[in-house]
Amino acid sequence: MFDLFDDIPKPDIAWHPDWIDADAACDLMGALIAEVAWQQDTMTTPGGRVPLPRLTAWQGEPDAVYVYSGIRNVPQPWTPAVAQLRERAEAACDARFNSVLLNRYRSGLDSMGWHADKERELGPEPVIASVSLGATRTFEFRHARTHATHTLALTHGSLLVMRGRTQREWVHRVPKEPGARGERINLTFRWVDASKRK
C-alpha cells in the first residue's frame, strides 16, 4: 500500500534501552564519578573562550590521538570500569573500539550542541556505541538536508549504536532541559585511526 511516510529518512541506529540493569548501572555511575579524571574544557566562541557546558574526559590506546576543536587530544589510559564497559560494548556491537569520549552533564543546564562525529580519523561510516547512565536526557537527530528530526529519550543503562551513514547525513545534540533532575554520564566508544587524519 502507498505509505505517506516511506520517504521520511531514519538514522541507521540500534537501540537497547535496558542494556545494563538499573542497579548495575548505578554502581557503574558511582565508579565512573570516582575513577575518571573529569576536566572542565573550554571552547572558542565569537565572544572569546568559555567553559564547555559539561565535564569531559577522553580515554583510550596511546595511539588513538584525535584533533577536536583544534586541540590534539592524547587519551588518558583506560580506567577499570571503562575498560570493562568497552569489552561489553565491543561484544554488543561486533566492532572494535580504541577510545572513548566521556561526557558528564552535571544538571539539566549542561548540554551538547548540534554536531556530527565525522572527524576524518573516525572513517566514513563509523560505528559509535553510546552508553547512558543517570538522568534521562533527550537526544535529537536532525537530517542535514530535509531537517527531519528523530528523538530518543536516553535512559539509565541504555545503549544507542550509531552506524552506517548516520554521521554523514544527520547531526545530533543533547539540548538543555531545565526540568531534568540530577546528573548524567554518557560514554561514546569509537575507533580512531590517526593515520586517516590527512
Taking the complex as a whole, how short is the minimal distance between the CB of residue 3 and Fe ion, in angstroms?
Answer: 31
From residue 103, alpha-carbon distances to 9, 56, 195 in Å are 28, 5, 25
Which lies closer to ligand AKG via its Cβ, residue 4 or residue 155?
155
- CA nearest 158: which of 9, 29, 10, 12? 29
Tell which one of 64, 133, 152, 154 touches ligand AKG (CB under 6 A). Answer: 154
Tell me if 139 contacts ligand AKG by CB under 6 A: yes
Tell me if 101 contacts ligand AKG by CB under 6 A: yes
Which lies closer to ligand AKG via its Cβ, residue 12 or residue 117?
117
- CA nearest 127: which of 152, 92, 153, 174? 92
Tell me if 119 contacts Fe ion by CB under 5 A: no
Question: What residue type is 27 in one-letter code?
Answer: D
Which residues have a Cβ under 8 Å from the Cβ of 7 and sit 6 or more positions away?
A: none
Tell which one of 41, 90, 117, 193 touches Fe ion (CB under 5 A). Answer: 117
Tell me if 188 contacts ligand AKG by CB under 6 A: yes
Specify the residue for cell string 559539561. 54
Tell me if 189 contacts ligand AKG by CB under 6 A: no
From residue 116, alpha-carbon distances to 69, 73, 193 in Å are 13, 18, 17
Q: Which residues bind ligand AKG (CB under 6 A)?
A: 101, 103, 112, 117, 130, 132, 139, 154, 172, 174, 186, 188
